[in-house]
Amino acid sequence: MPVTYDTIAANRQLVEHLADLSDVQLVAGNTEPAIYTVEGAADIKVIGRDSTGGQFAVSQASGRVFHFTSEGGAGAVARDFATFITIVVALPFWRDILKYSAHGKIAEMRRATGALEDDLFEEEESVTSRDQLAELLELDEEIDVVAELHAAVSSRVVIHDQWGNLTESLFGRFTIDDNPMWRAATG
């Protein structure tokens, strides 16, 4: 199956599975305005939202996918839509990987991925859902999704909120050592 916005957004079952797994709620024919503006990209189209009021948007010219959080953070999250879907299916906890990235260190992102994978494996339904989506969409299993996410969020992009202020990075300041449950498990 081709991994395009139109193909996935038109399939209600796929949209529901994606939302349940990773809180990415694609909306077919969405015409809502973007809450933030991306410098140099006047062609931003909102393609979905998350449960907190954040948005997912795509630059129609470059294909880059952005996440605009409801808390003032924003950034590119993938170089194109197919890569975005691969990331959010393979790493349904991708936001937490960014939160525990120590300001964007890929080594910390990989450590967080391991801890979060362990948590995911405790939820058999989530693992099954992820595996079924990956197979159905024929996602590239060889892609280094952590490196792709890191590269996208690290890319130079200027995003302003609705008042013209610069948005915050999607990278968080924490490491898994800041989480007492993970610290006990890895220490």
Residue 43 confidence (pLDDT) = 94
Residue 184 confidence (pLDDT) = 56
Residue 28 confidence (pLDDT) = 84
Residue 123 confidence (pLDDT) = 79
Looking at residue 169, the DSSP 8-state letter turns out to be P
* Residue-level pLDDT, tens digit, the chain, 187 residues: 789 999 999 999 999 999 999 999 998 888 899 999 999 999 999 999 999 999 999 999 999 999 999 999 999 999 999 999 999 999 999 999 999 999 999 999 999 999 898 877 777 888 888 988 999 899 988 999 999 999 999 999 999 999 999 999 999 999 999 988 776 555 5
Residue 70 confidence (pLDDT) = 95
Residue 106 confidence (pLDDT) = 98
Q: Give the span between the Cα atoms of 57 and 117, in whole angstroms.
A: 27
Q: Give the span between the Cα atoms of 19 and 88, in whole angstroms.
A: 10
Residue 180 confidence (pLDDT) = 82
The DSSP annotation for 101-158 comes to STTT-HHHHHHHHHHHHHHHHT-HHHHHHHHHHHHHTT--TTS-HHHHHHHHHHS---
Q: What is the pTM of this model?
A: 0.93
Q: Give the span between the Cα atoms of 45 and 27, in whole angstroms.
A: 11
| CB-CB contact of 98 with 109 (8 Å) | yes
Residue 119 confidence (pLDDT) = 79
Residue 185 confidence (pLDDT) = 54
CA angle 147, 137, 69 (to 5 degrees): 50
| CB-CB contact of 84 with 2 (8 Å) | no
Domain ranges of the chain: 5-186
Label residue 35 left, alpha or beta by phi (over 0 means left) and psi (-120 to 50 means alpha): alpha
Residue 30 confidence (pLDDT) = 82
Residue 23 confidence (pLDDT) = 95
Q: 65-68 and 55-59: which strand pairing?
A: antiparallel
